[in-house]
Structures are given as C-alpha cells and as structure tokens.
Amino acid sequence: MTSPIRLLIHGANGRMGRAVRRIAAEDARFTIVGVVSRSTPEARVVDGIPFFSDSELGGVPEFDVAIDFSLPEAFDGILGECLKRGAALVSGTTGLGDPQRVALETASARIPLVWASNFSLGVALLHQLVETAAARLPGWDCDIVESHHVHKKDAPSGTALTLGATAEASGARPHYASLRAGDIVGEHLVQFTGQGERIELVHRATDRDIFARGAIHAAAWLQGRPAGRYQVGDTLG
Ligand code: NAD
C-alpha cells in the first residue's frame, strides 16, 4: 500500500476549513500533518492533529499538498510555503487581487495547483455541458437562472457569471436572472431555447460539503502530477 498523502489544511477554523478537516480525517488516502488558522490555538493537538497559528506557518511539518480556504490576506503565505516546499496547492480562497492571480500563474510553473471559485464537481461538469450546448446550438437563446438563500447579497452569483463566460466563449449571448428565497443552498439553470424546443441544464446544491469534497478530490488527483495550473474539470474521470 502506498503511504498516505500528507495534507496541510490552511484556514482551518473557518466554515470550509472545518468541513475539510472533518471529511479528510475520515479519508484513508490522507494523513493530516497540521492545520493552520489565524489565531493562536488554544490546544496544540486536537484529535491527534497539530494546530498552528499563521505566524508559525514556516514551521509546519513536511506536506505533499495544502488545501486552503482562507482569506486573500492569508493567501500569499500559503502559496509561498508550497513553493518553498515544492508541495501542491488546492485553493478555494476568493477575492484574490490581480497581483495574487499573477503569482498563481507564475507558481504553476513550479508546482501543481488548482484554484477555483467553485469546487463542486457537478458544476465543473455543468461547465463542460454548457460549452458543448453553446457551441452546437448557434442562434439559440441562452438564459441563466440562479437561485440562492435570502442572505446572499451579490447577484448574479459568481458561479452564474463564470457559467455565462463559458457560454459566451462558445458563441452564446447569455442573459441572467436571480432569485433569492428561503434557505436555498444554490441552484443554477442554464437554458437553451430554440424554435419549438428547449434544453435545461440544471445543478442543485443541497449541502455546502460539496465544495470541501471537491477540494479533497482535487488534492488527491494532483498527487504525482507535473507542475501546472489545473481546473476542477480536469479532475473529472
Ligand atoms: P470563514 O470566514 O468561515 O473562514 C476563513 C478562515 O480563514 C478563518 O478560519 C480564518 O481564521 C482563516 N484565516 C484568516 N486569516 C488567516 C491567516 N493569516 N492564516 C491562516 N488562516 C487565516 O470563511 P469560509 O466560508 O470558510 O470561506 C473561506 C474562503 O473560501 C472564502 O474566500 C470563501 O469565499 C471561499 N469559498 C470558496 C468555495 C469554493 O468552492 N471555491 C466555497 C466556499 C467558500
């Protein structure tokens, strides 16, 4: 049996970081060598996993891959540490500035990495289906309807806009509509309408764990890959 993948979790006390910790702890492919969060931990070891504050990042044990769901101000630190160690990086941290996006591209010449604003494997596949439909149905109307819980402020959602960008790159001219209702985790409908017929491609998220699972899937997929910038879609079977 091959040895488990040594995983570092960065941004470990956030909603996403906690989900990654919970799911990765039950995944035999991984051993969690450490978790890093902003604040100094109250306990150094929890359930056998060592905790570190961000100022201690340089002293974490060796790792093969880091999963990062933190904040833009924390991103440079984890990217630099992965470069220093030659480790892979999976990051879902959003709101990166232009210099950080450039730094990601530059880093991909030296380490394998996946950065994505949405780690759902279903949404990754939806992109591929939208690309096909938009390219094969020229002249059809393309409409993207996204639905989220009432607390979500931005509209259209970032995922709707990236789906729209995919459709546009294949020749469609998407229009957007947004619904805010109840506790909907997230739904994206991409609809292509022709004369007398219509295709509806829809993804419904019912659980935020899908993002953590997608990131963990990407971390396993990156093992043994050459340096490069990969997309979540590349990790699909
Ligand atoms: P959160 O606010 O609950 O957690 C952020 C975490 O980052 C906190 O634990 C905080 O302590 C940690 N952090 C801040 N500064 C740090 C530092 N200097 N070093 C180490 N850790 C530090 O947010 P969240 O809901 O867990 O989301 C985290 C990020 O992931 C956000 O950017 C969010 O938009 C993004 N996100 C991405 C996806 C996706 O699929 N790509 C899905 C959900 C959320």
For residue 201, the model assigns a pLDDT of 98
Q: Is residue 1 over pLDDT 70?
A: no
Structure tokens at 71: 């904040």
Reading the block at residue 225, the tokens are: 């890959």
Beta-carbon count within 10 A of 10 CB: 32
Q: What's the pLDDT at 104? A: 97
Q: Among residues 96, 38, 107, which one has the least CA distance to residue 72?
A: 96
**18 and 80 inside one domain:** yes
Q: Is 148 a catalytic residue?
A: yes
CATH number (domain holding residue 98): 3.40.50.720
Q: How many domains does the chain have?
A: 2
- If asked whether residues 76 and 47 sit together in one domain, one would say yes
Please give the single-letter amino acid code of residue 77. Answer: G
Same domain, 9 and 110: yes
Helices (H), the chain: 15-25, 72-85, 98-107, 121-136, 158-169, 209-222
The Cα 169–Cα 53 span in angstroms is 42
CATH number at 166 reads 3.30.360.10
Which pair of tokens denotes residue 75? 């991103």
Q: Are residues 130 and 56 in the same domain?
A: no
Q: What is the Å distance from ligand 1's center to 135 Cα? A: 36
Distance of CA 78 to the CA centre of its chain: 16
Domain span at residue 177 reads 121-205
Closest CA to 189 of 153, 145, 136: 145
157 lines ligand 1 (CB under 6 A): no
Q: 134 and 184 share a domain?
A: yes
Which atom of ligand 1 sits closest to the CA of residue 215?
40
Same domain, 138 and 228: no
Q: 20-60: per-residue pLDDT in tens?
A: 999 999 999 999 999 999 987 778 888 889 999 999 999 99
Do both 12 and 97 map to the same domain? yes
Residues 70 and 152 in one domain: no
Q: Of all residues in the chain, what percent carry a pLDDT higher than 90?
A: 90
Do 131 and 95 share a structural domain? no
- Same domain, residue pair 223 and 198: no
- Mean per-residue pLDDT for 201-207? 96
Average pLDDT over residues 102-114: 98
The pLDDT assigned to 235 comes to 96
Cα separation of 97 and 111, whole Å?
Answer: 20
Q: Whose CA is nearest to atom 23 of ligand 1?
A: 14
Same domain, 100 and 13: yes
**Ligand 1 binding pocket mutation candidate from 69, 119, 153 (most atoms within 8 A of CB):** 69
Residues 224 and 110 in one domain: yes
In total, the chain counts a number of residues equal to 237
Query: Would you call 84 a catalytic residue per the annotation?
Result: no
pTM for this prediction? 0.91
Average pLDDT on 156-178 reads 96
The per-residue pLDDT for 136 is 98
Task: Decide: 116 in ligand 1 pocket, CB within 6 A.
Answer: yes
Confidence at residue 2, expressed as pLDDT on a 0 to 100 scale:
80
